[in-house]
Structure 1
């Protein structure tokens, strides 16, 4: 049952992230179960997880309903991150302790192991370590103001689950980009750290934008 539940969850999350469902659209358990050739039980469990993730809500008369995330919402989040996180990386190059830099390397190594894993929940593991990496870098910048501004952007439901439509090569590229950021911190090179983070976020935003469905792009215009 766990396997079916995880597979259904991953597929529904991928569709939600790509904009395949309209905002306000009902998620009908029976239709999803028939389409994915599973019983309604794993579908129901997957939908509950999506509600916990903040991607779906449950309405009294309509049941599970998709929450709306338009491209302009996503673009704004990335634009703000592109303003703030490269600065955080720049500052971290001067302020991060050796222990904080090593912690970033350990998190990234765990992310790589998750990418290469055959575990059914490896995508969830990858997104977990990626989120930890970015939060740890903010901590390493030792700026309460920047951290308070960026924390909420990192934890946006539509952003935190982006790895559900990454290929393994995409995930490996993300790990490599993290390695460049770590190398810049170790070198205590602010310019290198800033440019490495900007490149990483630009690549992430481009990948995210390319995966959004044409229908969603039309609705956001």
Structure 2
């Protein structure tokens, strides 16, 4: 992971990756469109940074949208989707335990897929687009690296419990767990507990 605020020089990246500057420039533009990179006129690019206020806004929006999406998704999830959610939750728990097999980068990808399945199953394109706009991969990645061991295990267990709620067909339960999950993440990132 590259730290927030790190300068991303086109020439250095092109040299390091043995490509011309054109694909680097295009990639940086795409990353900027996703909010992961900030392009600064006459100064180049740098990894995006978020102020405490911006992070608070991101979590406020996610807290309003994502629990609702999960509740909407529960009655629409089929057996195959439930099995996939179960596999993802168990994989995150397996590789998230502290120790030499812990792989936070892999957890970030599994987490993205887990949340994406619920959002897709909700079946509301505007809701999915809004969540894509506020669920920044870099923020999620940093969140997993900032977790204390007990908070990380709590987060990973939330995924298991969300699957249990979905299997029970209980959208209200799944919604409550997603809300607790996001409160846990917010407390880790910015220290806000209520």
Q: TM-score range by the shorter chain?
A: 0.7 to 0.9
Structure 2 gaps, min length 5 = 9-15, 18-23
CA positional deviation for 1:145: 2.5
- 1:198 aligns with 179
1:154 aligns with 2:135: yes
1:161 is paired with a residue of what secondary structure? helix
TM-score norm. by structure 1 comes to 0.65
1:131 aligns with 2:108: no
- 1:177 aligns with 158
TM-score norm. by structure 2 comes to 0.73
Detail structure 1 runs of 4+ shifted over 6 Å in the superposition: 51-54, 58-61
1:72 aligns with 2:77: no
Q: How does 1:7-22 map to 2 (within 5 A)?
A: 9=1, 13=3, 16=4
Q: 1:89 aligns with which of 46, 70, 93?
A: 70
Instruction: Call closer, same or farther: CA 1:156–1:72 in 2, change over 3 Å.
Output: farther
Q: How does 1:23-62 map to 2 (within 5 A)?
A: none
Structure 1 gaps, min length 5 = 1-8, 17-22, 28-43, 212-221
2:169 is paired with a residue of what secondary structure? coil
- 2:167 aligns with 186
Residue deviations 1:153-209, cap 9 Å, x none?
223533443211123332211111111111111111121111111111111111111
Larger RCO (CA under 8 A, 6+ residues apart)? 1
CA contact (8 A) 2:108 2:140 kept: no
Q: 2:100 aligns with which of 99, 104, 118?
A: 118
